[in-house]
Structure 1
Amino acid sequence: MGALGFGMVLAVLVFWAVGAHNRLVRLRGEVVRQWSSVDAVWLRLLVRLQGGLAARQVLASDGETQDLQQIQTICDDLLEALTQARLQPLDEDSQKQVVSQHLKLVAAIRLMQQTVQESIRPDLDIALNRMRQTLPAALIPYHVAVLAYNEALSMRPASWLGKRLKFKPAIRMDLSLSAS
């Protein structure tokens, strides 16, 4: 009778572990899927911005051309950070690098708005407004997925299993500084 009881307990533990593992993997996959949506939005914004900057460089003066090239360089750096985050979507350092490069781009655009001709300012305003309007909306499903995954990862006894499988919590991207 003792062996039967032990076998039942062992079976329950195995089924629980498989179920918990599958749930964590599914939620983790959802975070990655939602990140790919955010990545796609960011890429569209950057392609539009870079296209507009390239067109403006033809019409700009020498000083403005240097400013536009600086923003192009920052866009390239953000694209590189997005590439790294695409390769490792749950890596905290990759995500922080994306946020850092995004904030750097927003700051450079704001600085340039103060120094450029009136003809270029509306384009920069449009770029910032697109970022303000589309990125937060794209981040909502990502943040919901991150919250669900992190909650599942923190629950006991799934937290024990998550540690054994080296599952790390996903980070929430805070772009609140760029929305002002």
Structure 2
Amino acid sequence: MMDLSLLLWVVLALLIFWGVGLYNRLMRLRARGLEVMAVVEKHAGTCAALVRQYVAAPNAEGAAEVDAQWSHVQVAAGHLEQVLAQPRPASLQPSAVAALSDAWASMHAAWQEASAAPTDLAGPALPPDMQEAWNSASLKVQSASGGFNQIITLYNEAIQQYPARWVATLMGFQPAGHF
């Protein structure tokens, strides 16, 4: 009788320690995902600010005249800024991540299309320092989004593993979206 109750206490203790360990692991993965998402948002915002700086003052030195291509970039940057400004109570939800990913992809594609336009007699369409700043910020977005996707893959796999799936569901962990 004594051995059975001792065994039950040991099993209960192991289950509690396992549950606490699982919870801590999922919280660390989710927190790391949120940290990396903040980095993605920061650098995507930097890219949108570059567009605003470059396109906003068409007669300023080094600024482009606003033509159809650059107005398309400006619209895409405005959409990205709107997505970044929206409150997201659950930033890792697939819909929130997809909205940011789509806005970034749209602005990036518009920038690439506009900056690849042939140069005219006045020189390149973009000042070299502007292109450098864009390249730096967009590489940071791509790098951070790759890291984000790796973390989210680990997180999603962790909450889908059996029997952790039951505990994760009880604790309110939901699958996250990829960038």
Q: Which amino acid aligns with 1:165?
A: M
Task: Determine which structure has the larger helix proportion and give its number.
Answer: 1
Q: Which amino acid aligns with 2:161?
A: M
- Decide whether aligned partners of structure 1 residues 57 and 75 sit closer, same or farther in structure 2, where only a CA change above 3 A counts: farther
Equivalent residues of 1:84, 1:94 under 8 A apart: no
**1:46 aligned to which of 45, 48, 57:** 48
**2:22 aligned to which of 20, 23, 45:** 20
Equivalent residues of 2:152, 2:177 under 8 A apart: yes
Query: Counterpart of 1:143?
Result: 149
Question: CA separation in 2, counterparts of 1:57 and 1:108?
Answer: 22
Question: CA separation in 2, counterparts of 1:138 and 1:3?
Answer: 51
Give the C-alpha shift of residue 17 in structure 1: 1.1
Question: CA separation in 2, counterparts of 1:137 and 1:154?
Answer: 26
The reply to whether residue 158 of structure 1 matches residue 164 of structure 2 is: yes
Q: Deviations over 1:50-88 (max 9, x none)?
A: 111113366766x72x65444323212111212347543
Gapped regions of structure 2 (runs ≥ 5)? none
Give the superposed CA RMSD: 3.0
Scaled by the length of structure 1, the TM-score of the pair is: 0.75
Gapped regions of structure 1 (runs ≥ 5)? 174-180
Question: CA separation in 1, counterparts of 2:13 and 2:166?
Answer: 18
Percent identity, please.
24
Equivalent residues of 2:44, 2:104 under 8 A apart: no
Give the C-alpha shift of residue 112 in structure 1: 4.2
Q: Secondary structure at the match of 2:92?
A: coil
Q: Secondary structure at the match of 2:173?
A: coil
Equivalent residues of 1:85, 1:94 under 8 A apart: no
- Residues paired across the two proteins, number: 171
Q: Which amino acid aligns with 2:125?
A: R
Question: CA separation in 1, counterparts of 2:146 and 2:116?
Answer: 31
The reply to whether residue 122 of structure 1 matches residue 122 of structure 2 is: no
Q: Deviations over 1:105-141 (max 9, x none)?
A: 2343355457787356235992764565332222232
Give the C-alpha shift of residue 39 in structure 1: 1.2
Of 117-126 and 19-28, the range deviating more from structure 2: 117-126
The reply to whether residue 167 of structure 1 matches residue 167 of structure 2 is: no
Q: Which amino acid aligns with 2:96?
A: S
Q: Which amino acid aligns with 1:155?
A: Q
Equivalent residues of 1:56, 1:120 under 8 A apart: no
Q: Deviations over 1:4-30 (max 9, x none)?
A: 322222222122111211111111111
Scaled by the length of structure 2, the TM-score of the pair is: 0.76
Equivalent residues of 1:92, 1:171 under 8 A apart: yes
